[in-house]
Copies of this chain bind each other. A is one copy, B any other.
Amino acid sequence: MAKSISLLWGAGSPPCWRVMIALEEKKLQGYKHKLLSFERSEHKSQEVLEINPRGQLPALKHGDNIVNESCAACLYLENQFKPQGTKLIPDTAAEQALMYQRIEEGLILTEKLNSVIYYEWFVPEEERHDSAVKRNREALATELKLWEGYLQKVAAGSYLAGGFTLADVIVFPNVAYAFRFGLSVEHYPKLAKYYSLLKDRPSIKTSWPPHWLPSSQGYDILRDL
């Protein structure tokens, strides 16, 4: 089955990483994949555009079916390969509610992280304002504190929605990204604990962004948040 799956991906991209974790959890190892370079704009290549007209990664095919948006791809994979590997959607209504809620909130977290980390990438020089940078950073801090609160409420050492679910598949790469960009373990102890709980999980370790490995040290843009 894994042979009918192909993934175009970029290293260090949380959306790509989500899909790779889902593929590992569903025991779909052996899928075809190709690492492309954002720096060389390979995500805008014809090869990608034929699968994903947005020119973004991931670009995922399963047979003739295409699912490029990361949460969509994870939901699709779980639903297509339900009996295989980890069960990623829980049974109870309470856990499902929490899982779906956290999945979509994960997209908000991604956006707020990007608005700080990639401000200079998204905003042309003549449109940049210190006031906007400050506001984006405050919004990200508020967002991260919300997640600290969520983790405060769940049982100690727990995942986001009971057992390990699609919510963790989708949100963990954001959390790893935040720490990669310097988020303080002291300021966000629950997120740090969650990071520690998950970082050595086989599906996550195997799919860890390759260029993050040599230098465990990332950047410090989020250091003072």
Contacts and interface: CB of A to CB of B under 8 A. Distances in A.
Interface string A64-81: 111111111101100110
A126 interface: yes
Interface residues of A, number: 37
A127 interface: yes
Dominant SS among interface residues on chain A: helix
Interface stretch (A21-29, A97-105, A193-201): A97-105
A101 B72 contact: yes
Interface string A105-130: 10100000000000000001011010
Contacts of A62: 93, 97
Contacts of A205: none
A163 interface: no
A69 to B, nearest CB: 4
B129 A53 contact: no
Nearest to A63: B93
Contacts of A80: 93, 96
Contacts of A101: 66-69, 72, 76
A155 interface: no
Given A100-B72, A126-B129, A132-B127, A146 B54 contact: yes
A165 to B, nearest CB: 13
Nearest to A103: B72
Contacts of A98: 65
Interface of A: 53-54, 62-73, 75-76, 79-80, 93-94, 96-98, 100-101, 103-105, 107, 124, 126-127, 129, 131-132, 146, 149
19 contacts: A53-B146, A54-B146, A62-B97, A64-B94, A65-B98, A66-B101, A67-B100, A69-B104, A71-B104, A72-B104, A73-B100, A75-B75, A76-B96, A76-B97, A80-B93, A80-B96, A124-B131, A127-B127, A127-B131
**Which 6 A-B residue pairings sit nearest by Cβ, starting from the closest?**
A69-B104, A72-B100, A65-B97, A72-B104, A127-B129, A72-B101
